[in-house]
């Protein structure tokens, strides 16, 4: 997820130090996140990256492969951010969960935010068999699992229920943020999440 912001900030930046594969992926990620996957063709990626089309296809046999690579990098960096936040509260699951809600809210409020890349791509590719959709599903399944683990550590009686509620809340904020901005309903993410945590029955 962090990459969604950094990718958006790198539009037009110098890429001469990158390998051909990384240059293609960096350019495609910028365009996919800003403009949408279906709106961006391979020819545009070639033009903006400054590589030959044959070089692109040497590393990514199809556009779908390029989309999957983009999402896999987003997924890896999302969990790197998550783990960095989690490391600050290793002994307190409730404090950790509140910290996650805060960094997600800050991410949504950033000027270059254009939505959750996993939700964006899943919306563009509704076919269950699409490989990019599979990466999006994996990310959301892992989010649900991690939230349930924290809820269990907090002593919540039904941790899976709280985790499901929090996923709906977080994904709702991810989708609403680009539409109504940082002062819209997404601004209530932290308060709403804490209210769910407080209301969850404990063992």
Q: What is the CATH number of the domain that holds 58?
A: 1.10.357.10
**Residue in the block written with tokens 């000027």:** 111
Given this model, what pLDDT does residue 125 score? 94
At residue 197 the predicted structure's pLDDT band, cuts being 50, 70 and 90, is very high
CB-based contacts of 1, cutoff 8 Å, min separation 6: 74, 77, 78, 81, 107, 116, 117
Number of domains in the chain: 1
What is residue 133's predicted lDDT score, i.e. its pLDDT? Answer: 95
Q: What average pLDDT does range 129-147 have in this prediction?
A: 97
Tokens 């949504």 correspond to 108
- DSSP per residue over the chain, as a string? -HHHHHHHHTTT---TTS-HHHHHHHHHHHHHHHH-TTT--HHHHHHHHT--HHHHHHH-SSHHHHHHHHHHHHHHHHHHHHHHHHTT-TT-HHHHHHHHHHHHHHHHHSTT----HHHHHHHH---TT-HHHHHHHHHHHHHHHHHHHHHHHTTBSSHHHHHHHHHHHHHHHHHHHHHH-TTSGGGGHHHHHHHHHHHS-B-
pLDDT band at 181 (very low <50, low <70, confident <90, very high): confident
Quote the pLDDT of residue 12.
41
Question: Which tens digits make up the pLDDT trace of 49-101?
Answer: 999 999 999 999 999 999 999 999 999 999 999 999 999 999 999 999 999 99
Q: What is the mean pLDDT of residues 148-169?
A: 98
Give the whole-number percent of the chain exceeding pLDDT 70: 92
Average pLDDT over residues 155-177: 97
**What pLDDT, on the 0 to 100 scale, is given for residue 120?**
97
Q: Please determine, for residue 9, whether its predicted confidence score (pLDDT) is greater than 50.
A: no
pLDDT of residue 10 exceeding 50 = no
pLDDT of 18 higher than 60: yes
Q: Which domain holds residue 183?
A: 2-199
Q: Residue 13 and residue 154: Cα distance in Å, rounded?
A: 44
Question: What is the pLDDT, as a whole number, of residue 200?
Answer: 97
C-alpha distances in Å from residue 133, one per residue of 122, 137, 145: 5, 6, 18
Output the pTM of the full model. 0.88
Whether 156 shows a pLDDT value over 90: the answer reads: yes
């Amino acid at each position: 997820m962090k990459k969604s912001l950094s990718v958006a900030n790198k539009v037009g930046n110098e890429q001469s130090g990158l390998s051909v594969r990384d240059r293609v992926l960096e350019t495609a990620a910028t365009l996919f996140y800003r403009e949408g996957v279906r709106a961006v063709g391979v020819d545009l990626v070639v033009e903006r990256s400054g590589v030959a089309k044959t070089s692109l296809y040497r590393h990514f046999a199809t556009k779908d492969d390029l989309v999957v690579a983009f999402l896999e990098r987003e997924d890896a960096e999302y969990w790197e951010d998550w783990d960095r936040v989690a490391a600050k509260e290793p002994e307190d699951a409730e404090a950790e969960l509140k910290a996650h809600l805060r960094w997600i809210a800050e991410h949504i409020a950033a000027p270059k935010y254009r939505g959750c890349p996993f939700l964006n791509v899943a919306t563009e590719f509704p076919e269950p068999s699409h490989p990019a959709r599979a990466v999006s599903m994996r990310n959301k399944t892992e989010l649900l699992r991690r939230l349930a683990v924290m809820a269990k550590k907090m002593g919540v009686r039904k941790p899976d229920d709280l985790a499901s509620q929090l996923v709906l809340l977080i994904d709702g904020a991810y989708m609403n943020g680009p539409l109504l901005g940082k002062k819209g309903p997404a601004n209530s993410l932290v308060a709403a999440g804490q209210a769910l945590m407080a209301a969850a029955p404990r063992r």
